[in-house]
């Protein structure tokens, strides 16, 4: 008899589970029915959903994390989602403030010395989201992993037309990522304007900056302080 009762209860549980799976499950403050497109529908006007909370280290230690798995990272108070695979996780911060950008202008009076790779100094900002462009070093500190686009334009006055000039965008490993070389300026124009743009996939903490090189033993040349002709900008495309 006990076996029969157990079997009947088991059948009832299985039937209920199948019915719930077909209809979806509703968790609600009151009465209602689940959305027909949802396997789980959570409805409330007074409460939210609390994701598992853990540190970055604990997040990275999840073995075989499913694609789409979500957690709340207590180190930077952000929701993360695994956009990678179970074999290769790629945890991405979903915070909206990750859409960062900057546009800065040069330090008036800067000169470019001869035969030297010179970091262009920027002193003014049209905008600097999050303050990640560091004016003390004239370098942009990448705040989040992701794909970024950087552009720069540099104008130099009083040129010797025989000298080659190079304008480059560098990252902190010392390798130029984009460059433009110009030897086509003429004595009657007496200025060089070089512009370059690059898209880079970078990790948080990388520094990006502009370098100008005068390839010749000549006098220092002044950098144009005009924001129309000398500038440095960048923004995050996506993660």
Q: In tens digits, what is the pLDDT along the chain, a chain of 239 residues?
A: 444 444 545 544 444 444 455 578 888 888 788 888 888 888 888 999 999 999 988 999 999 999 999 999 888 788 999 988 999 998 888 875 566 899 999 877 788 777 778 899 999 999 998 899 999 999 999 988 888 999 998 887 766 666 777 888 999 877 888 877 664 455 555 566 778 899 999 988 999 999 988 776 566 777 776 767 889 999 988 65
* C-alpha–C-alpha distance, residues 59 and 76, integer Å: 12
- Residue 105 is encoded by which pair of tokens? 């202008």
pLDDT at 125: 95
**Cα angle value 10/12/14 (rounded, 5°):** 70
* C-alpha–C-alpha distance, residues 107 and 109, integer Å: 6
Of the candidates 182, 194, 180, the residue with the CA atom closest to the CA atom of residue 224: 194
Q: Are 76 and 119 in contact (CB under 8 A)?
A: no
Residue whose token pair is 């209920």 = 16
pLDDT at 237: 81
pLDDT at 207: 96
pLDDT at 4: 47
* C-alpha–C-alpha distance, residues 140 and 154, integer Å: 17
pLDDT at 93: 80
pLDDT at 11: 44
Is the domain spanning 99-238 CATH 3.90.1110.10? The answer is: no
pLDDT at 191: 66
Q: Are 68 and 81 in contact (CB under 8 A)?
A: yes
């Amino acid at each position: 008899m006990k076996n029969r009762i157990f079997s009947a209860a088991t059948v009832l549980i299985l039937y209920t589970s199948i019915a719930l799976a077909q209809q979806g499950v509703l968790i609600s403050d009151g009465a209602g029915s689940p959305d027909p497109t949802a396997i789980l529908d959570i409805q409330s006007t007074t409460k939210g959903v609390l994701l598992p909370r853990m540190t970055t280290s604990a997040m990275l230690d999840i073995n075989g994390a499913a694609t789409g798995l979500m957690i709340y990272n207590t180190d930077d108070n952000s929701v993360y989602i695994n956009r990678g695979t179970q074999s290769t996780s790629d945890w991405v911060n979903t915070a909206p403030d990750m859409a960062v950008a900057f546009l800065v202008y040069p330090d008036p009076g800067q000169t470019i010395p001869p035969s030297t790779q010179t970091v262009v100094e920027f002193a003014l900002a049209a905008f600097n989201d999050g303050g990640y462009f560091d004016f003390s070093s004239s370098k942009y500190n990448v705040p989040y992993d992701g794909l970024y686009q950087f552009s720069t334009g540099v104008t130099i006055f009083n040129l010797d037309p025989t000298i080659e000039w190079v304008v480059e965008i560098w990252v902190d490993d010392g390798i130029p990522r984009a460059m433009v070389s110009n030897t086509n300026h003429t004595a009657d124009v007496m200025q060089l304007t070089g512009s370059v743009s690059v898209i880079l996939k970078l990790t948080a903490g990388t520094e990006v900056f502009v370098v100008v090189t005068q390839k010749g033993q000549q006098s220092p040349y002044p950098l144009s302080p005009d924001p129309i002709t000398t500038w440095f900008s960048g923004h995050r495309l996506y993660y």
